[in-house]
Structure 1
Amino acid sequence: MGLNMDFAAVSTVSLVFLVLIPLAFTAGPLTGHSVLRVWPAGEKQVTLLQELLSMRKSLDIWKGPSCATCPVDIRLTPFEYDDVTSSLKENNFKVETMISDIQHVLDSQRRDLKYKPKAAVFDYSKYHTLDEINAWTMNITNVYDSMTSVFNVTKSYEGRSLMGFKISTPSPFARSAFWIEGGIHAREWISPATVIYMVGQMLDRYKIDPDITTLVDSFEWYILPVTNPDGYAYTWQSDKTRLWRKTRSKHGLCYGVDPNRNWDIEWSKSGASKDPCSDTYCGPKAFSEVEVKGVSDFLRNISGLKGFIDFHSYSQLWMSPWGYTKKLPKDFKQQDEGSAAAVDALQKVFGTKYEHGTIANIIYTASGSSADWTYGKIGVKYSYGVELRDTGKYGFLLPADQIIPSGQETLQALIGLAAYIKDNS
């Protein structure tokens, strides 16, 4: 009887392991990963938080310290969670879990990606792969061949094209130019999706919607949907790579450079890392990344460039230079008035609130950024970095059902900004 009971016990234990092992293998790579929001209370706590984070270089900082009371978002593995949260609470930080299981959010997003229309139809309400975006670029420029033309900025580190297109309508006089780019940070999918929706509307509703017609006719438009194609393609490979931020160049044992710290202005100073494994690694030298150097060369050759926007996510911020210092540039008043015109128009659509100001003053210091370079090096007064939806509920994993609302409100912001720039060039 005793032997039978022991055998039954062993059998039960074995059965448990047989059940648990398959479950372990079907769990995603980010199962149990969470996003913790930390609320500092004053400058002393900000300094303390910066010190605590600097001791844990492996942490994925989604939103860094920016002001005395601004929240900080950190992605934590299950192994880090208890230790980090305990340390923060011991130092009297207020903490809140924004995302309890990143894998659950990813699973929902992946399920949504499976349901796509036929190849001939481009669904603006879905996220798309790089190949799908490039195919859309070729298709829409063929449909509107009288007012669009494709350009290739350069080849990426891994040999992909940085493919964009120009929108230009007939005019008896020379017009100023406006550059819009998305996807410089790979994991920020809402950025290319919003850019694509906006320019799709600019073409589809030209001569139908008077505001859009005025917008299109006001400038020569240069659109680059995905500025970091290698990184963006990498985020589509698996759940494990979905949160990749950088380029894919090789640096020792680590990969990638933050392409928004690699521009040749105040390079490798505040807000950038010299550690090749860091998400904010500035590179071995300014313009080390072929993508960044290619875009800078292309921008230099655009005649009459008056407007520049580099779209990011997340935080709902409309930002102007400088990023490398909290000192205000000489053109700040007009730059910020342009930001105000944009966010006021944006808020009227769905009530979404954006803050505006300089990069360093409302988010964090960041040297070697695109907006600083276009303003400081080639004189584009109205240069902006924009952080799109949301404010942290989903962070970099914004659901696809927010693409079109984001595009609709941001398009109105662009209409407001373009009108301001045209009147204040």
Structure 2
Amino acid sequence: MFRITSLFIISLLYLSFAYQDDYSGYKVYQIVPNNEDELKTIQILIKHPQMDVWTSSKLIGHPTVFMVPPTIDYRLRSSLRVNNLPYDTLIEDVQSTVVNEKHEQAAARRIASKQNGLLTFKQYERFDTITWFLRNLTNLYPDIVQLINIGKSYEGRDLEVLKISSGGNEDKPAIFIDGGMHAREWISPATVLYIISQLVENYSENSALTDNIDWYIIPVINPDGYEYTHTMSRFWRKTRSVNLNTYCRGTDPNRNFDFHWNEVGASSDPCDEIFAGSDAFSERETDALSNFVLGVKQNIKLYLTFHSYGEYLLYPWGYTSALPHDFFELETVARRANAVANKRYTVGSSTNVLYSAAGGSDDWFKGVAGVNLSYTIELPGGGLSGFDLPPSRIDEVVQETFEMVKVFAGYIQEKFLYNRFLLH
């Protein structure tokens, strides 16, 4: 059986997570459970309000990784010892990894400047650069690219969906892709930008994907939070909206969708990392996204949302452990895509593989918008280098992920295009 020290539990009542620019003394630990008791102990430990969970799993043998401030570090390690939980210290001082990341970013920008290229996939781009890139594509490739403004973020940044289409029939199957829902997950927008680049700038090689499929893509659905991680707090996760009667800002956009909203795996506390919002679709960003999707849902056959990290390929449901009626198809398609990644990703439903999380975008796309093939892809993390991949590894991950996306797209063509052709 597991035991939690009384001191550690009492501290839950008095401490709340506090973000700060300086992460000196913060540490990152990893625990890999060997049995059910250890797994249960971990699930209790990570509920501490000052513990920032980077990745966790419900599966034995899969790591849980979390960051802790120096204020609770001693109590945490004491609790781990009492419960005989072996752990590894991945990062001794988080601030040093943040500084190293900034240095790598600066070096990558110098290289990019010398090469006269803005998107080299050797650095994490700022939101203004991403916006410039999307708008420039509409000028360079007006026959296949259209930029659609779907609203503005809380701080007034444009939310723009790039539609990639070669024209033709209005009933072509479509794929919807988004990234940057959680602000600190920088590899997500980078991956989505690479997908766009391959579909548009490398059109001649990938024309089959755009000739037969329309694409709706938004690289950063949470631009305010994304910019805040670049300028103020590297590990900020939520939006930047103001919550009434509290100093705590922001909502977890991936708990804010109106499908079993705030039922499980979410919080009503605005200071919590998984705050579901004052209401479903309280956030301008999620509201704008949902309104746009409902207008084009009849053609969308596949939804991919990119997060990090952990190497998981997940499908609904997040609000219940029950599997969708078509889980066999969801699983089969995911395993096809995973094959090109050398089967490194863990495939399964969100609740059964990771944790319960109601109000997520993948559940909403399937349960409300009617997009049966709906997936969350948790991309690789930085391991010893920090929360996210160092810039030097961006290219490696985005290329591999695009190969996975091509497999997904191939299945959409197979199911909705070739089968229709055979029927005629």
Common fold, TM-score beyond 0.5? yes
Correspondence for 1:322 among 291, 313, 317:
317
Superposed displacement of residue 179, structure 1: 0.5
What residue number does 2:83 align with? 91
**TM-score, structure 1 normalization:** 0.87
Letter in 2 for 1:359: S
Correspondence for 1:219 among 213, 217, 222:
213
What residue number does 1:421 align with? 412
What residue number does 1:8 align with? none
Superposed displacement of residue 29, structure 1: 0.8
What residue number does 1:259 align with? 253
Q: Secondary structure at the match of 2:96?
A: helix
What residue number does 1:205 align with? 202
How far apart, CA to CA, are the structure 1 residues paired with 2:202 and 2:317? 35
Task: Rate the CA distance shift 1:314–1:258 in 2: closer, same or farther, 3 A.
Answer: same
What residue number does 2:361 align with? 370
State the Cα deviation string for residues 340-385 of structure 1 (Å, max 9, x = none). Answer: 11111233xxxx7111111111111111000000001111011110
Letter in 2 for 1:317: Y
How far apart, CA to CA, are the structure 2 residues paired with 1:121 and 1:36? 36
How far apart, CA to CA, are the structure 2 residues paired with 1:385 and 1:62? 16
Superposed displacement of residue 173, structure 1: 6.3
Structure with larger Rg: 1
Kept in 2, the 8 Å contact 1:218–1:418? The answer is no
What residue number does 2:381 align with? 390
Kept in 2, the 8 Å contact 1:152–1:161? The answer is yes
Task: Rate the CA distance shift 1:183–1:383 in 2: closer, same or farther, 3 A.
Answer: same
Superposed displacement of residue 90, structure 1: 1.0
How far apart, CA to CA, are the structure 1 residues paired with 2:39 and 2:339? 31
Superposed counterparts of 1:123-272, under 5 Å: 123-171=120-168, 174-207=171-204, 209=205, 212-238=206-232, 241-251=233-243, 252-272=246-266
Superposed displacement of residue 318, structure 1: 1.1
Superposed displacement of residue 170, structure 1: 3.2
Superposed displacement of residue 59, structure 1: 1.5
Superposed counterparts of 1:64-79, under 5 Å: 64-79=56-71
Superposed displacement of residue 69, structure 1: 4.1
Of 308-317 and 97-106, deviating more is 97-106
How far apart, CA to CA, are the structure 2 residues paired with 1:397 and 1:249? 24
Task: Rate the CA distance shift 1:307–1:32 in 2: closer, same or farther, 3 A.
Answer: same
What residue number does 1:18 align with? none
Letter in 1 for 2:346: E
Superposed displacement of residue 52, structure 1: 3.3
How far apart, CA to CA, are the structure 1 residues paired with 2:340 and 2:170? 28
Q: Is 1:43 matched with 2:36? A: yes
Kept in 1, the 8 Å contact 2:382–2:388? The answer is no
Superposed displacement of residue 162, structure 1: 1.0
* Stretches (4+) displaced over 4 A: none
Letter in 1 for 2:49: K
Q: Secondary structure at the match of 1:48?
A: helix
Q: Is 1:288 matched with 2:282? A: yes
State the Cα deviation string for residues 372-421 of structure 1 (Å, max 9, x = none). Answer: 00001111011110100137444532101111111111111011111112
**RMSD, aligned CA:** 1.8
Of 39-48 and 365-374, deviating more is 39-48
**Structure 1: gaps spanning 5 or more residues:** 1-27
Q: Is 1:380 matched with 2:374? A: no
Of 180-189 and 261-270, deviating more is 261-270
Letter in 1 for 2:411: Y
Tell me the number of residue pairs that the alignment of Structure 1 and Structure 2 aligns. 388
Kept in 1, the 8 Å contact 2:381–2:388? The answer is no
Q: Secondary structure at the match of 1:236?
A: helix
How far apart, CA to CA, are the structure 2 residues paired with 1:293 and 1:382? 21
**TM-score, structure 2 normalization:** 0.87
How far apart, CA to CA, are the structure 1 residues paired with 2:157 and 2:307? 21
Q: Is 1:297 matched with 2:291? A: yes
Letter in 2 for 1:46: L
How far apart, CA to CA, are the structure 2 residues paired with 1:346 and 1:108? 28
Kept in 2, the 8 Å contact 1:338–1:421? The answer is no
How far apart, CA to CA, are the structure 1 residues paired with 2:170 and 2:186? 37
What residue number does 1:359 align with? 350
How far apart, CA to CA, are the structure 2 residues paired with 1:120 and 1:409? 22
Superposed displacement of residue 266, structure 1: 1.1
How far apart, CA to CA, are the structure 2 residues paired with 1:316 and 1:365? 18
Letter in 1 for 2:410: A
Q: Secondary structure at the match of 1:315?
A: coil
How far apart, CA to CA, are the structure 1 residues paired with 2:327 and 2:385? 32
Kept in 2, the 8 Å contact 1:36–1:97? The answer is yes
State the Cα deviation string for residues 17-75 of structure 1 (Å, max 9, x = none). Answer: xxxxxxxxxxx711221111123333333333333333x31221112352344322110
Q: Secondary structure at the match of 1:154?
A: strand
Letter in 2 for 1:341: R
How far apart, CA to CA, are the structure 2 residues paired with 1:417 and 1:138? 27
